[in-house]
Structures are given as structure tokens and as C-alpha cells.
Amino acid sequence: MRLQRRTDEAMDELSRSERKNRALVEAIPDMMLRLSRDGICLDYKIPHDLPATNKPQNLVGRHIREIMPGEVGNTLLEHINRALTTRQAQLFHYVQEGDGGLLNFEARVTVGTDDEILVIVRDITEHKHLEERIRFLAHFDSLTQLPNRVMFKERLNITLEQARQQGSPVAVLLMDLDNFKIVNDTLGHDAGDLLLQGVAERLQRCLRTSDFIARPEKGEAGATISRPGGDEFTILLTRIVDATDVMQAARRILETLAAPFRIHGREIGIGASLGVALFPNDGVDAETLLKNADAAMNHAKNEGRNGYRFYTQAMNTTHSRRLAMETHLRKALENAELRLHYQPQVEITSGRIVGVECLLRWHQPELGPVSPAEFIPLAEDTGLILPIGAWVLREACTQARAWQQQGLARLRMAVNISSVQFRQPGFGSSVRQILHETGLPPDCLELELTEGVLLRNNEEILRTLREIKEMGVHLSLDDFGTGYSSLSYLKRFPLDTLKIDRSFVLDLPNDPDNTAIASAIIAMAQSLKFQVIAEGVENEAQLDFLRGKGCDLVQGYLFSPAVPAAELLDMLRRQQPPAHASA
């Protein structure tokens, strides 16, 4: 009896162990086949969701050719024989058609005791897709599906090697979209992404290319387009005879981008600046050609944008200057190299100075005077505009308060605010803090915003505008007429003043287009009860025209350029008797 009990207990333990092992096997998401050395199925486990076979009702006793017919079965038999011969595990991959497309499998063959064969088949379709995705992202831009920087350089290096052997020319074009940052800042990054996709599609249509995936097949010719990042595109032109072919391609690119893009119901115009470097004249390796194409592109951008330039050695000087400017600009505040100058804003009916616009100036000991047109875009691109903009606002408020304490009239101080600065979280609070610290009454401060700030037209922008307006600070829309504004659009914002851009004042009253535009802007401002100021007034004819149309304020060289605070103080003292100093 004791022996029988032990036997029963051992059998129960064995049964439990077998059930546990079976549960473990069932939990494995792989197909498992136990075969004789002749390929006959002895046992099996097939997950319900693994479409690897035609799944007959019972596989035991069936040959592997029945279970896995066709080429897959033949391949499996080959690996079984190899495993039996070498006594080593064998691994192979195969593909089968599934309901949703091709499926990828990995089969592992091992030899057990008594030459039994264990075949484990795993569905690796998802793993393969992930591998392909990683491989794609390593060489292609996910947004535009164009080759990325890595793929482009690989293609360029192979192309240059072929060009050296064949003595053929190659052109590298670097293209940067003009004012793309404004689109991102005003319409949002989703709109910017759609614009980049639209640009990529147009480039592919316009350039002769047989393979935009840029697989570098020997003898392939045409164009390879890539997006290294941001709003930059690089283009590799082969099968060219001379610079004339490249000029034609550059012109086609500019022409194809000239038509507006329709994004979120808006028509967006975008230009491009292109730089061209030619092999072998402008460089014999990829790095040099890309560097020189970049220098040419920057030259095209600085010359007025929406154009192309071929590289010349003189351009390295321009590129070096930009790098030097960035280096020095990072220390400009610390080294006290920045100054504010002030341009009077004159009431057109009385001729009296009632406000000033502060304008930033930079004199760098090594570079000399640097134009705001050079360094302000650089400051915006690098993010340096944030500390510089905060310094300008504080300095301007301090100066305006100092003039009041010297007994002068309460001038309104106009300060330009960049879109980057305005969109910073807590901008309204920083304005309030600066007013509190400097003691300047809020109604003596006017913030000049560009249309780029307002075009985003979201609730956060509106909240910030209303917060500033509720303090008593005035809000002005700068360079009005150069963007997308309309009457219904302007009514949405709590503005006080519209500034007519100097480009519309330049040829008044002789240019009929500018005459019509200036008249319309003044009429629009009056209908909205906005004050209107014209900038760039340089002669009496312009002044007379603006006075006749009811313009409120003017500024320009007819009255004074922007001058240091001491010079403006003299002008203010000459125009009015001293007032009682304010505390």
C-alpha cells in the first residue's frame, strides 16, 4: 500500500509537471512542431493567431510537406537535413501571404534526443516593420519622405567619385525658404509642416529625377533632393553640361515656388534663396561643396531673397562676418556695446514732438557699426532677441521716466517687440514688472507689434494683448500694409495705432499705387478710430499729402533721424518751456 501511494503521488506530480510544462508551451506565441528525422509530425502547437499553415484538424502523422507545402516546406527540409548532419541549430526566414499583406517568419530547427526535430516558427512581421521604420528614419525625412542629410551625403560622395572618374561636372544647391519662420510663428507649426510638404512635392515635380529615394545606382542621372532639416533643402544635380543647365534648374525651382500655397484656407506666398557650388571648381569633396553652397545661399538671402547665387571665393568673407557677428552678439550686452537711439514722432497738426520710437544700435569694436538689418534677424534666429529685447524695454522705460523727471512733457515711448519675445510665457507680467520698477506710467509706453505676431490669431495671443491693454499700455501695429491684414481682422485686436510702412510713403504723392494704399490705410484707421502714423517721411510733399488725408503723426528724416538721448533732450527743450518736474 505504501509503495502504491508513493507511485500515485509520483504520477500526480508528473501529471502536474506535464500540465505546467504544457501551460508554459501554450503561453509561448510561436508555432512548435516536433518531427521525426523523416519529417513526420509527432506533436505540435499552433497559436490561433499565427497564419503560418493551412491548419488541418490534426497534424500528427502528417509529413512536413503537407503541413508547410511549397517552397517553404522544401527549405525547411533542407535545414532539417543540415541540422541532422551538423548537429547544430539552423535558422532561416521566409515570407508568406497573409490577409493584410506579406508576413515575415523566422524558423529555428534543432535536433533533440533520438534524432527528433524541434521546429519553432515565430511571426516577426512587426519586428521587421520596426526595423524598416528605423532604417527609413536613419536615411529619410519623416515629414517630406525625402532623403535626409545622411542619405544625401552618401549619395553625394558616390556621385563625386563617379564624377572624378568620368571628368563630369556636378552641382550642389542649398535652398532656404524665405520668411518660413514667420509662417511658423503666425500660423503655427502644423501649417509650417504642410508648407514644407508642399514645397517638397513641387520640387520633385519640377526637377528631372528618376529616383527621389536617392538610391545611388551607378550611371543614374538627374536630381536628388533632400531635406537636411528645418526649412532647408539640398539638391544634387548630375548630367549637367555647364553652369547654364544649373541656372535653368534654379530658375525652374524659383518659378515653381512662386505660386501661393493654400494652407488652412489661406494663400501663403513663400520665396526661396538658393546657393550653388560646382564640382570641381568650388570644391572636390562633399564638405567643401556644402559649405560653399551655404555661403552662396546666405549671399542670395542678404541680397534681397527669392534668388540664386553661384559661389565665389569672396563670399567666404560674408559668411565669416555672420559667424563673427553671432560670436560678438552673445557678449554685446555684457560688454555694454548696445545703445538706444530715439526718433521723434511729430503731431502733424501742431508740429510738436509727442512721442519717440526707440531704435537699437550696435557698435562692435572689431566689426564697427553693425546695421540692425544685419544683427536683429541674427538675434531672432539664435534666440538672443529675448535678453536683448528685455534690455531694450527696460532701458527705454528708464529713459522715458528720466525725461519726465527732468520736467519734460509726458512723451510716449514706442518700443518694437519681436514675435519671439511677445510669445514668451509671462510676457505681459514682465511688462508690468518693468513699468513698476522704472516708475513709467503705463500710458507713456507703446508696444509696436508686427502683423506676424497677430496673424496667429489664437486665444493666447488675445489674452496677452488684453492683459497689456488693461494696464493702460498702448498697442501699435507696425509696418501696416505689408502683410495680410483686413478690416475684419483688425477689429478683433485691442489696437490703438496703425503705422504706415515706409515703402508706401516713399513715392508719395507721385506714385498712384502708393497714393491709393496710403489713403486706404488712413481711411481704414479712421473708421476703426485708430491713430495713424506714417514713417519714412522725408520731404514736404509727402507731409502735405499725409496732412491732407488726416494722418495723425509722422516720423522720418524730414524731422530727425534716430539720435542719442542727449540730442533728443536738446530738441525737446527747444520746443517747449520747462514743466514742473514729476516725482
Predicted local confidence at residue 582, as pLDDT: 41
53 pLDDT band, cuts 50/70/90, is very low
Buried b / exposed e over 155-194, threshold 16 CB at 10 Å, is bbeebbebbeeeebbbbbbbbbbbbbbbbbbbbbeebbeb
For range 405-427, the mean pLDDT:
90
Residues 6 or more apart whose CB falls under 8 angstroms from that of 522 comprise 500, 532, 546, 549, 550, 551
What are the backbone angles phi and psi of residue 511, rounded to the nearest 5°? -80, 120
pLDDT at res. 229: 81
What local confidence, expressed as pLDDT, does residue 66 receive?
84
Cα–Cα dist 245/225, whole Å: 17
Residue 221 pLDDT: 41
378-406 burial, b at 16+ Cβ within 10 Å, e below that, comes to: ebbeeebbeebbbebbbbbbbbbbebbee
- To the nearest whole number, what is the mean pLDDT of the chain? 84
Quote the pLDDT of residue 523. Answer: 87
Tens digit of pLDDT for each residue in 2-52? 555 655 555 555 555 555 545 545 556 688 888 998 889 988 888 766 554
The whole-number pLDDT of residue 16 equals 57
Cell numbers given for 332: 554685446
pLDDT at 27: 53
Centre a 10 Å sphere on the Cβ of residue 116 and count the other Cβ atoms it contains: 14
Check: CB of residue 63 under 8 Å from CB of residue 74: no
Is the confidence at residue 468, as pLDDT, over 90? Answer: yes
- Ramachandran category for residue 114: left, alpha or beta (phi over 0 → left; psi -120 to 50 → alpha): left
For the stretch 93-150, pLDDT in tens is 888 877 777 888 888 999 987 889 899 988 888 877 777 777 777 788 888 889 988 8
Sign (positive or negative) of CA dihedral 362, 318, 294, 242: positive
Between 364 and 124, name the one with better pLDDT: 364
Q: Is the dihedral of CA 510, 514, 516, 520 positive or negative?
A: negative
Give the highest mean pLDDT range of 147-161, 215-229, 322-336, 424-438: 424-438
Mean local confidence (pLDDT), 451-477? 85
Nearby residues of 482 by Cβ (< 8 Å), 6 or more positions away: 451, 501, 503
User: Which amino acid is located at 136 in the chain?
Assistant: F
- Taking the C-alpha atoms of residue 61 and residue 59, their distance in angstroms, rounded to an integer, is 6
Domains annotated for the chain, with CATH where assigned, are 18-129 (3.30.450.20), 140-313 (3.30.70.270), 324-575 (3.20.20.450)
User: In angstroms, what CA-CA distances link 292 with 51, 171, 229, 341, 565?
Assistant: 56, 11, 18, 37, 43
Q: At what angle do helices 385-405 and 372-382 cross, to 10 degrees?
A: 120
Q: What is Dmax (Cα atoms) for the chain?
A: 128
Q: Using one digit for the tens of pLDDT, what is the confidence trace for 487-497?
A: 556 777 899 99
Amino acid at 124: I
Determine how many CB atoms are found less than 10 A away from the CB of residue 308. 22
Compute the average pLDDT of residues 359-363.
95
Mutual angle of helices 286-302 and 149-166, in 10-degree steps: 110
pLDDT of residue 9: 57
Mean pLDDT over 55-72 rounds to 80
In angstroms, the CA 438 to CA 440 distance is: 6
pLDDT greater than 60 at residue 383: yes
Give the range with max mean pLDDT: 98-107, 298-307, 469-478.
469-478
Distance CA 3, CA 11 (A): 12
- pLDDT at 211 (0 to 100): 29
Q: Which of 284, 276, 24, 38 shows the shortest CA–CA distance to 161?
A: 284
pLDDT in tens, 527-579: 888 999 999 999 999 999 999 999 999 999 999 999 999 999 999 988 865 44
Highest mean pLDDT among 46-60, 148-162, 359-373, 390-404: 390-404
As a whole number, mean pLDDT of residues 156-167 equals 91
